[in-house]
Structure 1
Amino acid sequence: MNFTNKIVWITGASSGIGKALALELSKQNVKLILSSRNKTKLTIVKNECKNPLNVKILPLDLENYTSLFTKTTEALKLFNGIDILFNNGGISQRSLAKDTSIDVDKRIMDINYLGTIALTKALLPYFIEKNQGHFIVTTSIVGKIGTPLRSSYSASKHALHGFFDSLRAEVHKNNIKVTLACPGFVKTNVSLNALTGDGTPQEKMDDATKNGLTSEHFIKLLLKAVKHEKEEVYIGGFKEKLAVYVKRFFPKLLSTMIRKLAVT
């Protein structure tokens, strides 16, 4: 795949992985549609792009997933089409399952899962009609394995894998690609914004997140995987990637390892 002249829509584009993705793709002669809830931050990212004239901003809220069909219609009009959708927007969690309100569980599922699939379903008929398209979904290593303090977050990411694996099989005949990108620890504000048990932000950077990959490094590896049309890719440190394979071949061993992780 060559990104040149492609029309790319990115959610969660106001910071972190989404921002780094926008800045990198802007160097590759791409037309960009940037979305998140924060219009001011999106404007800042647009102005940092190599060619701001090739960038449009479209604020949206994934939690308000019933509005996303209308937003998709707006997005398609901005450059008269879309070639690639990076489903990158989402929110994390840091709380024990026993301390997590069911309202927090629902909010995380509404944003991470229902918001993502609503946007995907809204764009899908256009991709089918065009007989071409590519969905890239930022899930997580915890979309493959569950770890303490992330039960709701992990559940939402596992759900994405189930949906998009099914979708990939259904739309193969339409030349539509699906890439599931599973980050390990990436140095972003994800842990600062993570919801605690009562729904308030944690407002603290996890040590593992602080020491994770830079967004820029992550993006280079992600775009390489997308160019090669990988179906699923794990991007992170050695231990995070190793855990996926230990889970596959030695699940009981991984369970023992996971129980030893700090939960406070």
Structure 2
Amino acid sequence: MKSLIAATVAFAALAMNGPAAHASGEAIHLEKQDWSFSGLFGTFDRAAAQRGLQVYREVCSTCHSLNFISFRNLADLGYSEEEVKAIAAEYEVVDGPNDDGEMFTRAGTPSDRFVPPFPNDKAARAGNGGALPPDLSLIVEARAGFEDYIYGVLTGYGEAPEGVHVADGMHYNKAFPGHQIAMGQPLYEDGVTYSDGTKASIEQMAKDVTTFLTWAAEPNLEARKRTGVAVILFLIVASGLFYASKRKIWANVH
């Protein structure tokens, strides 16, 4: 499935960004990272995902929404019921109408979804120089390279090579198609203070928030892998039984 998504997204990116992507004369190379959730038996690192949530809330959420994730989903990351309620209550949610036909705000509850930073797309564009920050709920699955691409972009900012012109309002990024991105560098050393004492380097924050966003895009990944392993084991056992039955049935046939 990932290969199919990757091929589709890559084709679309080439169609839309092809000339810009090759304008710098430099091919995009994404370094393969070691992820805890990779492989048949991979699982999410809950501590990393919780740190990634912190990075999202303190850095990314000022521009990017997380529209498809409810606060109650955070229980999957190891948060207790009380902790989920406390996180939700930090947000103001627009609700209504009330008996007078008016909308009102209230504290968030676990059943609410994450509150977007802007009320609509036009407000988001107005607040970001005309660029529309994408929703991050499915961003990992929506980009060729998946989690390695997200990590690459977050750590790919730097000075443009000699001879490469960066347009006004754009920023050089070695992992972004065309190497010019409207989003300014979001992560800086010690940009957050992790509650578990982990050193908040750019690489650490990038890896943590990518882990969180991978979970957000595919929260059922672990269950799907467990199901896959169970099916494989069943097929192995069934194949053995079928083979033994075949030998028994045809034992006297020459």
When you count helix as a share of all residues, which structure comes out higher? 1
> TM-score range with shorter-chain normalisation?
under 0.3
TM-score (norm 2): 0.25
When you count strand as a share of all residues, which structure comes out higher? 1
TM-score (norm 1): 0.25
Look at both structures and tell me which one has the larger radius of gyration over its CA atoms.
Answer: 2
Higher relative contact order (CA 8 A, sep 6+): 2
